[in-house]
Amino acid sequence: MASGSDRNPIIIGGLPSQVPDFDPEETQEWLDSLDAAVDERGRERARYLMLRLIERAREKRVAVPEMRSTDYVNTIATKDEPYFPGDEEVERKVLNATRWNAAVMVSRAQRPGIGVGGHIATFGSSASLYDVGFNHFFRGKDGGDGGDQVYFQGHASPGIYARAFLLDRLTEQHLDAFRQEKSKFPYGLSSYPHPRMMPDFWEFPTVSMGLGPISAIYQARMNRYLQARGIADTSNSHVYAFLGDGEMDEPESLGQLALAAREGLDNLTFVVNCNLQRLDGPVRGNGKIMQELESQFRGAGWNVIKLVWDRSWDPLLAQDRDGVLVNKLNTTPDGQFQTYATETGAYIREHFFGGDQRLRDMVANMTDDQILHLGRGGHDHRKIYAAYRAAKEHKGQPTVILAQTIKGWMLGPNFEGRNATHQMKKLTVDDLKRFRDRLHLPIPDRELESGLPPYYHPGRDSDEIQYMHDRRRELGGYVPTRVVRAKPLTLPGDKAYAAVRKGSGQQQVATTMAFVRLLKDLMRDKEIGKRFVPIAPDEYRTFGMDSLFPSAKIYNPLGQTYESVDRELLLSYKESPTGQMLHDGITEAGCTASLIAAGSSYATHGEPLIPVYVFYSMFGFQRTGDQFWQMGDQLARGFVLGATAGRTTLTGEGTQHADGHSHLLASTNPACVAYDPAYGYEIAHIVRDGLRRMYGENAEDVFYYLTVYNEPINQPAEPDDVDVEGILRGLHRIAVGASGSVPAQILASGVAVPWALEAQSILAEEWGVKADVWSATSWNELRRDAVEVEEHNLLHPEEEQRVPYVTRKLQGAEGPFVAVSDWMRSVPDQIARWVPGTYQSLGGDGFGFADTRGAARRFFHIDAQSIVLGVLTELAKEGKIDRSVLKQAIDRYQLLDVAAADPGAAGGDA
C-alpha cells in the first residue's frame, strides 16, 4: 500500500459518543469543577476557562471539536503581536499620498468631456491592508522565480495605480488616462486588473466577483503541482487573494475551500476586506458577516485570523473583566456598526456604551472625539502586520484574514460608511480640503479651488519615496508586474502525429478517441511530454482517458494511502504525489481554474504547461463561460476539448447534455480558436498548429477549443493531397461529386460530414445531382477572417479590396450551397453573407432530447435524407429542377415520420 502524509487524518475531531467512560469518578470531578466555576465566578469566567482548556488541548495535539466561531475580537492577542519592523510614520506618509492620488485620479476622470467613472471607496477601506503587504510581504520577480502571486480586489485598482505613480512606474499622463485605454494609448490604464490590456503590469483579472477566490486556490495548488513534478521551484511563492465580504456570496468564492484545506495549501492567504457593505447597502445588516465567514472557513478546515479592532480598543478590552464589552461586540449587528461609522462620538457613547453602567464607566474618562476614533483593525498597520506574519508562518492549512474596515475610510463624512459610497466618484472642493487636512498634505487651497485637483508627489529624493523603493528592492521587485521569461518549446515532428493521420482502417473510432490517441503519443515526447496537464471533471473513463492512469497517474499530494479496488486491473486507478493528471472532481469551475493556472504558468513561473481540459461540451462554455473570458484576459494558453459534442450525438442523455451551441458561445471569445473537426487527421494538423501558435516562436495569447464526438466512425487516412491550409483556416474539400449533371455544394462539420457524404451518394444515384462535400473545420475562424477583411476594406478604400478566405475558397464552386452540422443553424450561418451563391443551413435548433441518433437527426432534419431534401429545395428555388421532386423526396424518405429513420449506430461512450 502506498504511504501518505498524516497531515490529513480521517477523523478531524468530535465528541466520542460511542467510547466508554473508563473512569466515571474522574469525569465527575471535572464536571463538578466546571459547575463550581459557573456558580462561583459566573458563566463568562467559566467560558474563558473552557476556551483556554481547548487551546491547551490543541497544543497537546488532543483531538477536540473545532470552534466554529469565536468572540468578535482580534484572534491575535495584544501580548502575542510581534515587533513591527517598519517605520510607521514614513509608511503613514506614503499611504496618505497614495490615498490622495487614487481619489484624485478617479475624480479627475469625471472631468467634462470624459466622465468615465471609477471607484474610490473600496481602496479607501483596504489601503492599509495593501500597504503592509507591499512594504513587508509581497515578493517580486527580480530573483528570477515567480515571486508571490497577488490577486488584487478589482475595485481597488486606483490605489494600485496611485502607488505605482509614487514609485515612478507610472506618470501623471498615465493617471489622467485612467479608463481611456484606446483614446489615450499608450498611456491608458484599464479600469480594473486586466492583463490583456496591460500585459506588463497586471497578472490576474479579478473584477468578475467570485473568480478571484477560486482562481487563487487553484493557483496555490498549481504551485504545489509544479514543485511536486520538478518543473519549477515554487517553494517560496505565496498566493494572496484580496476579496470583499460582499463578494463572498458568489458560489465560486466559497465553493472550493475544502480543496485548499484537504491539500494543506499553507501557501495561500485570503484577505477578506470586511467593510460590511455591498454595492447598495449592508452585507448582513441584521447579522455579522465576519462571524458567518469565520464559521464557514473554520468548517472547511482553514486557519482563521480575525482582525476586528485597532490598538485603541486594547485598553478597553483589557478592562473587560466581566465580558460585558465582548458581549456587546458579539451582539451588535453589522448594520449598527455601519451606522456608528457615520455618527458622532456622543452618539456612540449613548447608543453603544450607554446601555450598561460597566460600559459607561469604561469610557467615562474618554472624550467624544476619542470614542469616535475607536477604529477598525483593518486600518492598523501593526495589527495587520501581525496577522500577515501569523498567516505566513502557519503550516498545514490555508489562512483567511477577516479584516474589519470602513468603506470610504479617510474620504470624509460624505463618503465613509455611506450606502451610496461605492457609486460616489467625485469630490467637491470642501471634500478635497477636508481630505487634504486629514492626510496632512502640503497642498494649498488655491490648487483645490480652481481647475482639476492636483496629484501629489513628495519628490523622488524624499525619505518616504526612498523608503518605498528600498522595501521593494529587499522584497525582490515591484508588484504587480507580469513577466514572460518562458522560451519557445521544441515541438514534436511528424512521428508524433503519424498514427492518427493514417486513419483507423476497418476499425470504427470516435474523434474523441482519435484525440486521446494523439495525446498519448504527445505525452511520450521527450521534450514536451511532461508539460501536458490533462484535466477532467470526473469523466476520464467516459472520454477513454483511463488508459493514462497507470503511466501518467492522478496528482494527489497525499499519494494513494489505500488499496485501489481495481488494483489488479491493467487500467487501475492510481494516485501519486507526482501524478500528471488533474482529477478535480465534479466541478467544472474548479477544472477551469486549474486550466487557467496551468495555461498562464509560462508567465507566472516562466515554465510553460500545456493544459488539456476535457469535458462534456454542454458543461463548458455554457457552465463556466465567465472563466473562459477570464482565461482570455489572463492570456492563458492551452487546449479545451468539448467531448461528447453535438445536439444529437450523445444518444440517450437528453436535454441537459445535448450541446448544440457551444461553438456559438466560443465565437464570442476573441481569444478562442474553435474547431469542429470530422476526422483524426484534421485533429492532428489542428493540434500541431495550436502547439506552434501557443508554444513556438512568437507565441500567441490564444487558446484552442475542439469539439469531438463519441460516435464511432471509420477514420479515413490522410489523403496525399491534403489541404492543410484549408483545415487550419476552416474549410477544405474532401469529396468531389463523381456523377450527376446538376452541381451543388454541401458544407458540413464534425459528425455531420459522414451524413453529407451519404447525402452526396444519394443525390448522385437517385436525383442526378453532382454535389461536392466540404469539411468546415471552423465556422468561427472563417467568420473571424471575413470580419477582419471587411474591417480592413472599410478603413482602406484606396487599396485593392481584400476577399475573405471562404469567398475565395468557394469562388469556383457552382452552388447552391447547403451547410449542415450537429449545431444550431446560427453556427454555420456565421459565414452566410460571404458565401458566393445561394446559401441555406440545416441544424439542431431547439432543445435536445433522449432518443436514438437516427430519430434525433430526423427530428431536426439534419440526417442524410434531410440533407438531400435541403439540396433539392435550393436547386428548385434556382429553377434547376422541378419543384415536384421535393414532395417525392419527402414521401420516399418518410421525412415527416421520426420513427421511420434508421436508428443509426448506438453506444460509443467515448
Residue 664: how many other CB atoms lie within 10 Å: 18
What is the pairing mode between strands 732-735 and 769-775? antiparallel
Backbone angles phi, psi at 752, to 5 degrees: -80, -15
CA-to-CA distance for 179 and 58, rounded, in angstroms? Answer: 51
On whether 277 is known to bind a ligand per the annotation, the reply is yes
Residue 809: how many other CB atoms lie within 10 Å: 22
Distance of CA 691 to the CA centre of its chain: 23
Question: Side-chain half-sphere of 244: how many Cα atoms within 13 Å?
Answer: 30
The CA-atom distances, in angstroms, between 783 and each of 266, 632, 689, 829 are 47, 19, 19, 9
Cα 818-821-824 angle, rounded to 5 deg:
100
On whether 626 is known to bind a ligand per the annotation, the reply is no
Backbone angles phi, psi at 189, to 5 degrees: -105, 135
The CA-atom distances, in angstroms, between 536 and each of 223, 360, 416, 593, 694 are 19, 61, 46, 12, 21
Q: Which SS3 state, helix, strand or coil, does residue 126 take?
A: helix
Per the listing, cell 444529437 goes with 648
Give residue 825's region: left, alpha or beta (phi > 0; psi -120 to 50). alpha
CA-to-CA distance for 243 and 238, rounded, in angstroms? Answer: 16
Alpha helix locations (H) across 491-600? 495-501, 511-523, 549-552, 588-599
CA-to-CA distance for 216 and 268, rounded, in angstroms? Answer: 8
On whether 627 is known to bind a ligand per the annotation, the reply is no
CA-to-CA distance for 102 and 175, rounded, in angstroms? Answer: 9
Cross-strand partners of 273:
244, 403
Q: Which SS3 state, helix, strand or coil, does residue 639 take?
A: strand
Whether 74 and 377 have beta carbons less than 8 Å apart is answered as yes
Backbone angles phi, psi at 376, to 5 degrees: -95, 145
Handedness of CA 146, 149, 155, 156 (dihedral sign): negative
The CA-atom distances, in angstroms, between 808 and each of 110, 147, 771 are 49, 50, 19
Whether 679 and 709 have beta carbons less than 8 Å apart is answered as no
The CA-atom distances, in angstroms, between 570 and each of 2, 519, 605, 704 are 18, 19, 36, 32
Per the listing, cell 469525569 goes with 27
Annotated binding site for Mg(2+): 245, 275, 277
Annotated binding site: 245, 275, 277
